[in-house]
Structure 1
Amino acid sequence: MSGRAVPDIPAVPRLPHSAAEGPEGIRKEYVHLGRSEMVLLTSWWCKEDGEFSLSARWPAPAAGLAYDQRMLTQTVRQSGLTIAHAAYGAPLSDHTVLNYFDFTVAPGFQVPSDAPCDLTVEVTVKNAKTRGNRVSSLDMDFRVYRDGDMAARAESEFGWLSTRVYRRLRGEHFEVDWNTWPLPDPVEPRIVGRSAPVDVVLSAGDRPRHWQLRNDVENTVLYDHPVDHVPGLALMEAAHQAANAALHPARFEPTTVTSAFERYAEFDRPCWIEADVLPAAPGETSVLVTATQDGETVFRSRLGGPCG
């Protein structure tokens, strides 16, 4: 994870002029969701070759939160998928692979606590690869704006595999018995920065700063529909919660996050989450979160920011 720099946010971030000819609506199929209420995007349009603009609306966050990180990661995910399917023709039947996901949030960013919030997402496709006549990966840069100011910037690479290739890759894990796995008890929500037990993705482990991942399908923000492996955004949420738990009772607001997905995390075996607090510059905190399953690393994330 040392080879990538977290995307910078300009000192004077202003929304660029849009050359859009007109927006198009969002199909929930584009964003791979079954529940329409979790579709955060409202429209998209192509400004020029490789440059896109999308509109998004976030619900008000839970009390006490400046914003909900899950809305940010979902917005980036949905933006990348929409562009891939609508503009680059990625087949809806293909399986998406998330290779990495890095983002920066502007210090002090917050959204209204009592009403939905409208945002704009500007996307640049930095590199597009094809295999035959199909898109195989898109490396993208995302800028999220609120009221003309850049609130966050993200970089991520999405890849696609045909069902034939994906079935061969996944083997016996291609199909799972949905929601049949044991669900351990959640840790106390306030320890991980959440307000309700259903939103907690960690269960107490056997030592400090060590937890078992819990996959509660009632958490519809992360588990919208049956899938064959733990969603990448669920692992990112586990990293966020683990960092907060490791630093509790201090309040941690990560502003830089790098994440790498190394293997699929399966539902039918325990996945362990561990947090290490690392040396950091004065006034900053850095936490490395690692997810392992069967003794092998499946995911790593490094989160940094102020802690008080």
Structure 2
Amino acid sequence: MPDIPVVPRPPHSAAEGRNGVPKEYVHLGRTEMVFLTTWHSREDGEFSLSARWPAPAEGLPYDPRVLTQTIRQSGLIIAHAAYGVPLTDQTLLHYFDFTVAPGFRVPADGPCGLDVEVSVAEPKKRGRTVSSLGMDVRVLQGGSLVARADSEFGWISPRAYRRLRGEHLAVDWNAWPLPAPVDPRTVGRHTPHDVILSAGDRPRHWQLRNDVDNIVLYDHPVDHVPGLVLMEAAHQAANASLHPAPFEATTVTSEFMRYAEFDRPCWIEAEILPAGPGEISVLVTAAQDGETVYRGRLSGPCG
């Protein structure tokens, strides 16, 4: 179970980020992994945030992990500071779909600033407590829309989460076998510890590898494979399926069905699907013990 410090909800002026975004409000253990710098409420259900991204690895237009982490952090800070969701509640990610403007690039020579705008749908409640929030997230660079996400976050109490997870709540962190990574170049990465796929027994089939040295994805111990890890696995599987042709996904849809556990193999499989003229689409499925835990579809221009 994630070790999330209990921090009192600040008064409204402090919650609007004048002193930065506390790492506890985005469920992170490392301050350097917090990509948001400020936030404030514009009007009912509308929020503005600012973000600072590190330069991407050489040759990459941007780091998809930083984009998805920024969207995740935006949802969490708004939920906790603006809607009073307790920090002790466990977060559920129901779906996470996003589009990226073709040709989106960030500077390779240093950090860059971006703006984030969020529209929150009417909260769903369980009694007086917010149980889920639907969010429309827009990322802007120099005033131009470069990415947009549609997602729904949910929350359950610690007691309900303990019942849900049962024996899986306790994890011997980083004690699982770590199979060898595939060649980083085939999945659009530069270093082996950034690779989360290991070769399977047939084409377009891999085993998920959970390397906690990848601190962008494994910031702190948790009791199940994070949703952003499965999204990154889909990104790498799509790149590997199309290698050596370059691939930049401009539309990604993700659906989370079950928890993926650390102590058993999780298998990633990709299928290249028919798409419109000038486009290519890859369906990626993650399965464990014969059950689908995640399904994602990545589409983008080909050639």
Structure 1 residue runs of 5 or longer lacking an equivalent are: 1-20
The verdict on how the C-alpha distance between 1:197 and 1:130 changes in structure 2, with shifts beyond 3 A counting, is: same
* Aligned counterpart, 2:185: 190
2:195: which partner in 1?
200
What aligned pairs does 1:259-298 form with structure 2 within 5 A after superposition? 259-298=254-293
Q: Which segments of structure 1 move beyond 2 Å, counting only runs of 4 or more?
A: 21-25
Q: Hey, what does 2:209 align to over in structure 1?
A: 214
Q: How does 1:149-168 map to 2 (within 5 A)?
A: 149-168=144-163
- Percent of pairs identical after alignment? 75
Q: Which residue of the partner structure matches residue 9 of structure 2?
A: none
Is 2:102 aligned against 1:107?
yes
Task: Tell me how far apart the structure 1 counterparts of residues 216 and 25 of structure 2 sit (CA, whole Å).
Answer: 17
Cα deviation, residue 23, structure 1: 4.9
RMSD, aligned α-carbons: 1.0
Are 1:71 and 2:39 an aligned pair?
A: no
> Which residue number in structure 2 is paired with residue 5 of structure 1?
none
Specify the alignment match of 1:135 in structure 2.
130
| Contact 1:230-1:264 within 8 A present in 2 as well | yes
Among residues 157, 170, 178, which one is paired with 2:173 in the alignment? 178
Quote how far apart the aligned CAs of 1:204 are. 0.1
Report how many aligned residue pairs link the two structures.
288
Letter in 1 for 2:247: F
Counterpart in 1 of 2:35? 40
1:230 aligns to 2:235 (yes or no): no
Q: Distance in 1 between matches of 2:20 and 2:245?
A: 42
1:27 and 2:35 aligned: no
Report deviation, 1:22. Answer: 8.3
Q: Judge conservation of contact 1:290–1:300 (CA < 8 Å) in 2.
A: yes
Q: Is the 8 A contact 1:24 1:45 kept in 2?
A: no
How far did residue 225 of structure 1 move?
Answer: 0.3
Distance apart, 1:25 and its partner CA: 2.5
Deviations 1:65-109 (A, max 9, x none): 011101100000000000000000000000000000000000111
1:283 maps to a residue whose letter is G
CA deviation vs aligned residue, 1:238-291 (integer Å, no higher than 9, x gap) = 000000000000000000000000000000000000000000111100000000
> Contact 1:127–1:140 (CA<8 Å) still a contact in 2?
no
- Counterpart in 2 of 1:7? none
In structure 2, list runs of 5 or more residues that go unmatched. 1-15
Once residues 123 and 243 of structure 2 are traced to their aligned partners in structure 1, the CA distance between those partners, rounded to angstroms, is 42
2:121 match: secondary structure: strand
Inter-partner Cα distance in structure 2 for 1:22 and 1:272: 40
Cα distance in 1 for partners of 2:17, 2:42 equals 9
Instruction: Note the C-alpha offset of 1:127.
Output: 2.9
Distance 1:209 1:89 in 2: 43
TM superposition shift of 1:306: 1.2
**Residue identity matched to 1:193:** G
Partner Cα distance (1:68, 1:30) in 2: 23
Contact kept? 1:24, 1:44, Cα under 8 Å: no
**Residues 290, 301 of structure 1: 8 Å contact kept:** yes
Report the Cα distance in structure 2 between the residues aligned to 1:24 and 1:129, rounded to whole angstroms.
Answer: 30
Q: Secondary structure, in 3 states, of the residue corresponding to 1:111?
A: coil
Alignment deviations for residues 6-34 of structure 1 (CA, whole Å, 9 cap, x no partner)? xxxxxxxxxxxxxxx98562111000000
Tell me by how many angstroms 1:126 deviates.
1.6
Per-residue deviation, 1:307: 2.5
Distance between the aligned counterparts of 1:139 and 1:262, measured in 2? 17
**Rounded Cα–Cα distance in structure 2 between residues aligned with 1:218 and 1:125:** 34
* Aligned counterparts, 1:51-130, within 5 A: 51-130=46-125
Contact in 2 for aligned 1:144/1:152 (Cα 8 Å): yes
Tell me the distance in 2 between the aligned counterparts of 1:206 and 1:216: 21
Q: In structure 1, the residue corresponding to 2:123 is in which secondary structure?
A: strand
Contact between 2:17 and 2:38, CA under 8 Å: does it hold in 1? no
CA distance in 2, matches of 1:303, 1:116: 27
